Amino acid sequence: MTILLVTRSADEHCTPRVHDILTARGCDVARFDTDRFPGEVRIVTAGGPTDGRIFLPDRTVELGAISAIWNRRMMLGGALPSSMDPRMRHAAVVESRKILTEIIGHSPAFAIDPIAVHERAAGKQHQLAVAAGVGLRVPETRITNDPDSVRALVAKCPGGVVTKMMHRFDLPTEDGMATLFTNVLDDEDIAALDDGLVLCPMTFQEHIEKARELRVIAVGNRLWTAAIESPKHAGAEVDWRREGADLVERWAPAELPKIVAERVRRLMEQLGLVYGALDLIVTPEGEHVFLEVNPGGEYFWLEDHCGFEISVALADRLQRGHG
């Protein structure tokens, strides 16, 4: 039986670790870099999710032989020629995503996590509602393209308001691309709401003062927690990811209060997730505030600097499959 790791070529940290652990145990492991499909990777199916083959550059995977799937990353179309007509390129990517989602999403193999579960759980509005339902504190939030609604939230939040995007968003710069991180709204931003917000909705949340930030990794019922005192580092006060590469060694193991850990486990259970990378804030008063959970979030630097054995736990779960 084959364990299929679904990812992309640029995934150079987490996937190789799980791959090597499983291979060392004698498991048959195949890595599917989805950016190579269509083009370098070919798929043939007779219509069913177990009746067909994936022709990878280094091997062939029988769909019926797949026992477990790690849906780590999906990024299609990277192997398509740059000269391809943009309309045809779009059609090829959409059709390929549909086909791949059908094949992997309907596979009877055990999955971390099933595509449908992954996509539903990744919805930020859904996460916040479920988190509040299990007793976690969540920030006051507006997801809107209505300027008046944002102004009402600003008036309600004396500590200010931050804005963020639901998905990763990069802006072109003279040096390449820059990621749009979480930012605090200032008076100029508020005055400019009428100029463009109606054309693109954004997420707005109350700005909560923090003593430190937590990254909690969940694999089933197992939790690993690391903390960083982000307010002490210039540029990372609002969003530690802005200085993430320079702060990896500043993370340290931490403990969740028992009640918070129980609520995190209930959140994961209700979202239907085996794996998740959760971000929380700890206020100066010691209150824990849930921000989000990423069903495909990174964790490799926590293994390197905190000694967490997350890859081993993922390998264990994939090897066990439905058992």
Strands 2-7 and 66-71: parallel
Answer yes or no: is 272 within a domain. yes
Residue with tokens 């340290």: 252
Side chain identity at residue 313, one-letter code: A
Phi, then psi, of 299 in degrees rounded to 5 = -150, -5
Instruction: Work out the number of other CB atoms within 10 angstroms of the CB of residue 250.
Output: 17
Answer yes or no: is 103 within a domain. yes
Question: What are the Cα distances from residue 77, in Å, to 12, 85, 100, 228, 245?
Answer: 19, 13, 12, 37, 28
- 306 in the same domain as 226: yes
Phi, then psi, of 179 in degrees rounded to 5 = -80, 140
- 195 in the same domain as 230: no
Answer yes or no: is 52 within a domain. yes
Answer yes or no: is 119 within a domain. no
Residue-number span of the structural domain to which 197 is assigned: 140-206
- 264 in the same domain as 296: yes
Q: In this structure, are residues 62 and 53 in contact, taking their beta carbons and an 8 Å threshold?
A: yes
Q: What is the pLDDT of residue 42?
A: 95
Q: Is the torsion defined by CA of 149, 150, 156, 162 positive or negative?
A: positive
CATH number reported for the structural domain that contains residue 300 in this entry: 3.30.470.20
Question: What are the Cα distances from residue 313, in Å, to 114, 218, 254, 293?
Answer: 18, 10, 19, 18
Q: How many domains does the chain have?
A: 3
Answer yes or no: is 147 within a domain. yes
- 200 in the same domain as 286: no
CATH number reported for the structural domain that contains residue 66 in this entry: 3.40.50
Q: What is the pLDDT of residue 317?
A: 97
Answer yes or no: is 232 within a domain. yes
- 278 in the same domain as 310: yes
- 262 in the same domain as 248: yes
Q: Output the tens digit of pLDDT for each of the chain's 323 residues.
A: 999 999 999 999 999 999 999 999 999 999 999 999 999 999 999 877 889 999 999 999 999 999 999 999 999 999 999 899 999 999 999 999 999 999 999 999 999 999 999 999 999 899 999 999 999 999 999 998 999 998 999 889 888 888 877 665 555 555 554 456 678 888 888 888 888 888 888 889 999 888 999 999 999 999 999 999 876 666 655 665 555 556 777 889 999 999 999 999 999 999 999 999 999 999 999 999 999 999 999 999 999 999 999 999 999 999 999 87
Answer yes or no: is 127 within a domain. no
Q: What is the pLDDT of residue 11?
A: 93
- 11 in the same domain as 102: yes
Q: Which of 180, 206, 232 is the last residue of a domain?
A: 206
pTM beyond 0.85: yes
- 150 in the same domain as 90: no
Q: What is the pLDDT of residue 179?
A: 56
Q: Quote the tokens at residue 3.
A: 């364990």
Answer yes or no: is 159 within a domain. yes
Q: Quote the tokens at residue 2.
A: 């084959």
Q: What is the pLDDT of residue 164?
A: 79
